[in-house]
Amino acid sequence: MTDVIKEDQVLDCSGMLCPMPVVKASKAMKELQSGQVLKMIATDPGAPPDMEAWSRQTGNELLRSLTEEGKFIFFLRKK
Amino acid sequence: MSVWKTNDPDTKKILYVQTHGEKDPERTATPFFLATAGAAMDNEVCIYFTMNGPQCLAKGNGDKIVIPRKGGNGKELKYFIDQAQEIGVRLLVCQPSLDLHGYTMDDMIEGVEMIGGAAFNDMACDADAVIGF
């Protein structure tokens, strides 16, 4: 059983293709305070490796990534 | 004084080089959208346009150059240029490559900056990555 992550904001990037999901995530993250969590939803098949790379490069932690009903869901914590 | 602006050692610097223009519309959009993704990762990103590259930045060409897509519905290059500029990607040209096409800076869209060959090499030496197209 995994802990429930409570997000502070939700960003739905369904239907968007590279590079829009990372662009939108970057913008949304700038609106958050340090420690707050962004839940991001995407359908771009490139999103899982992209968000992992984005997290590694920006230092915003990827808390969890999962697939639900064909959608990719990411929980990202602002550094 | 470097063309790069960041003083933060943690901010990486990526330099893209675009050599293609009007003749190769299918080769024009990718540097813009990779640069956009790079900037969205909090890197400092510039694209240097040389050879036919400045054609991508000539006023009016953003609407004229259409990136072909199988099944039609090509997208205008302007969409990718706007996206890159909006997120802070800087667009650089050099004088000789403007001359090559009879351009002056007045023919370039808003925001384009002029640098020379020495500044380009200096940027390349300081960059964390240089990617050519």
Mean pLDDT computed over B14-27: 97
B12 touches chain A (CB under 8 A): yes
pLDDT bin (cut points 50, 70, 90) of residue A18 is confident
Compute the distance between CA of residue B8 and CA of residue A10 in angstroms, rounded to an integer.
Answer: 30
Average pLDDT over residues B50-65: 97
Work out how many CB contacts closer than 8 A connect A with B.
32
Question: Does some domain include residue A45?
Answer: yes
Contact of B43 with chain A, judged by CB distance below 8 Å, is answered with yes
Per-residue pLDDT, B104: 95
Which of B12, B40, B83 lies nearest to residue A26, judging by beta carbons? B40
Domain assignment present for A57 = yes
A4 in a structural domain: no
Instruction: Decide if A70 is inside a domain.
Output: yes
Q: B34 and chain A: CB distance < 8 Å anywhere?
A: yes
CATH number of domain containing A27: 3.30.110.40
Number of domains in chain A: 1
Whether residue B83 contacts residue A23, with contact meaning beta carbons closer than 8 Å, is answered with: yes
Contact of B37 with chain A, judged by CB distance below 8 Å, is answered with yes
Mean pLDDT of all residues in B104-131: 94
Residue A33 counted as domain residue: yes
The answer to whether A13 is a known catalytic residue is no
Least CB-CB distance to A58: which of B33, B36, B41? Answer: B41
- Residues of chain A in contact with residue B39, where contact means CB-CB under 8 angstroms, are 26
Q: How far apart are CA A14 and CA A3, in angstroms?
A: 25
Residues 6+ apart with CB under 8 A from B133: B16, B17, B18, B19, B20, B27, B30, B31
Q: What pLDDT shows up at residue B118?
A: 86
Does residue A2 sit within a domain? Answer: no
pLDDT-derived band of residue A1, with 50, 70 and 90 as boundaries? low
Query: Of the listed A5, A10, A17, A18, which one is catalytic?
Result: A18
> In this structure, what DSSP letter does residue A4 have?
P
Task: Give ipTM to 2 decimals.
Answer: 0.77
For residue A70, the enclosing domain spans 9-77
pLDDT of residue A4: 87
Q: Taking Cα atoms as reference points, which of B77, B112, B81 lies closest to residue B94? A: B112
Q: What domains appear along chain B, each with residue ranges and CATH number?
A: 13-132 (3.40.1260.10)
Q: Which residues of A touch B43 (CB under 8 A)?
A: 57
DSSP H helices in B17-75: 29-40, 61-64
Handedness of CA A24, A28, A34, A36 (dihedral sign): negative
Supply the pTM of this predicted model. Answer: 0.88
> What local confidence, expressed as pLDDT, does residue B128 receive?
97
Quick check: bond before A19 cis, omega within 30?
yes
Which residues in chain B are closer than 8 Å to A44, comparing Cβ atoms? none
| CA–CA separation, A56 and A61 (whole Å) | 7
pLDDT tops 90 at residue B56: yes
For B19-33, what is the mean pLDDT? 97
pLDDT digits (tens, 9 = 90+) for A33-76: 999 999 999 999 889 989 998 999 999 999 999 999 999 999 99
Strands (DSSP E) contained in A1-79 are 9-13, 37-42, 61-68, 71-77
